Amino acid sequence: MTNLSDRQQLSYIASQAADARLNVELETEGMTLNIGPQHPATHGTLRIIARLDGEQVIWAEPSAGYMHRGYEKLTEVRTFPQVTTLVNRIDWLGSFANEVPFILASEKLMEIEAPPRAQVIRTILFELSRIANVSLFLGDLGVQMGAITPVFLAFRDREYVLNLIEGATGGRFHPNFDRIGGLKDDLPKGWIEETRQTMVKLRKFCDIIEDLLFGNEIFQSRMRGIGIIPADVAKDYGLSGANLRASGVDYDLRRDQDIAMAWDKADWKVWTHPDGDSFARCWVRLQETRESCKIVEQLLDQIPAGPIMTKVPRIIKVPEGEAWVSTENPLGEMGYYVVSKGDLGPFRVKIRSASFNNISIVPWALKGVYVPDIITILASLYFILGDIDR
């Protein structure tokens, strides 16, 4: 219990008191189970301290920070173009999407805007990184419940998307491709055609996953009615992304926000689900992957001609000011609050990453569930450790 805050300790003591009362009645003794920081279900180093009565959880608390890398502080000693190298390691499965809000915030401060061609290509890459991210989630879902086959299919099909990202940007995982005022390079020859073919494969992958997992009775009995998060609770805890939409809140920053990206050029749908349970969260993500394929396919036809870079000075100095830009990233709402004092680098950057807020609901959602449900609820909330700890 070393790295717990006062509030955590208080709630722990309260839970033990409740536990003691229970023990007097049933003459049982609780057990504290440390799930993590080294545990196969936490995708990294998240630690969940769970107090168990038999197999039932009576108290659970996430303990984050084992992988804190101090990106907010590190940005203060970097120049503006260098920051993208750092921030695309936050959510490492959908790296390109991490760069975009920061670049947009910087552009907002400099009062410039990327040319239309760059905006469309940015949006396409953004959606490709969403597909790469969520397709792995869909495969991993099975592994969390003991079905080992879907994850290999997911790795196989994600590879096609990563190849596309590598083809366009030169980096499979960390593209570092977005620049203030545009993009580093134009698209390579033949890329558009290849992307079109890949989107067909990814749609097929979605169908396979729907058959293999979502249609399975055992999967449904494990997911339906488990970990229900009502809409008001979800809003109170600041959930975002598919977790929020699965609770029935129709909120998607891609649609609701006027931003210098090209989502409004495509015809697509924001999926919500009224149930708010684990199944709904996974289902919404599955549908979003399909929508992303749709967006990419439509935008491929609409890439305008023109430059990919607007005119920016060779040495970028961002004028004094403060700006907040957030976008709908694969994991949820991700935003950067950038404060500039007119120097080469930012004075202060506050990163709002989606997973950090998404796991804040863990103590609420895990109360009273069984140990196997911990895993399915955590899997359906879908966090990435880099996104929690930054």
Partner 1 sequence: MMQLAVTQLGIEIPYWGQSLLRVLGGLVAVLLPAGTIVYLFLFKMMSFMQSRLGPMEAGPYGSLQLVAEVGKWMQKEDLAPEAADKSIFKIAPLVVLLSTFLLVVVIPFGPDALFTDFEVGIFYGLAVASVSVLGILIAGWASANKYSLLGGLRAAGQLIAYELPMVLATIGVVIQAGSMNLQNIVVAQNTGEIFGWGGIGNPYIFTQFIGFLIFMIAVQAELTQAPFDMPIAESELVSGYMTEYSGFRFLIFFIAEFATAGVFALIASVLFLGGWGIPFDWFGWTTIDSVDNWMNIVGPLIMFTKMLVLTFIIMWVRFSFPRFREDQLQTFAWKVLIPLALANTALTAILKVVF
* Residues engaged in binding partner 1 (CB under 8 A): 31, 33, 35, 39-41, 55, 142-149, 152-153, 156, 212-213, 216, 218-219, 221-222, 370-375
| Dist CA 153 CA 155 (whole Å) | 5
| Dist CA 237 CA 167 (whole Å) | 39
Smaller CB separation from partner 1, 51 or 117: 51
How far from 24 is each of 14, 15, 18, 211, 379, CA to CA, in Å? Answer: 16, 14, 10, 48, 34
Smaller CB separation from partner 1, 143 or 339: 143
Q: How far is the CB of 41 from partner 1 (least distance, A)?
A: 5
Q: If DSSP codes are grouped into helix, strand and coil, which group holds residue 31?
A: strand
Smaller CB separation from partner 1, 225 or 319: 225
Q: How far is the CB of 347 from partner 1 (least distance, A)?
A: 43
| Dist CA 250 CA 271 (whole Å) | 8
Residue 369 corresponds to which tokens in the numbers above? Answer: 């569930």
- Give residue for tokens 């545990």: 39
Residue 67 corresponds to which tokens in the numbers above? Answer: 């992988």
Q: How far is the CB of 308 from partner 1 (least distance, A)?
A: 36
DSSP 174-210: ----EETTEESSPPPTTHHHHHHHHHHHHHHHHHHHI
Smaller CB separation from partner 1, 85 or 149: 149
Q: How far is the CB of 218 from partner 1 (least distance, A)?
A: 5
Contacts of 374 (CB under 8 A, 6+ apart): 35, 41, 48, 50, 57, 60, 366
Q: How far is the CB of 31 from partner 1 (least distance, A)?
A: 6
Q: How far is the CB of 375 from partner 1 (least distance, A)?
A: 4
Smaller CB separation from partner 1, 41 or 233: 41
Q: How far is the CB of 152 from partner 1 (least distance, A)?
A: 4
Q: How far is the CB of 222 from partner 1 (least distance, A)?
A: 6
Query: Percent helix, strand, coil in the chain (nearest 5)?
Result: 55, 15, 35
Smaller CB separation from partner 1, 114 or 145: 145
Q: How many residues does this entry show for the chain?
A: 390
Whether the CB-CB separation of 338 and 345 falls below 8 Å is answered with no
Whether the CB-CB separation of 165 and 125 falls below 8 Å is answered with yes
Smaller CB separation from partner 1, 127 or 373: 373
Smaller CB separation from partner 1, 212 or 323: 212
Assign 3-class secondary structure to 100-146.
HHHHHHHHHHHCCCCCHHHHHHHHHHHHHHHHHHHHHHHHHHHHHCC
Q: How far is the CB of 136 from partner 1 (least distance, A)?
A: 15
Smaller CB separation from partner 1, 145 or 325: 145
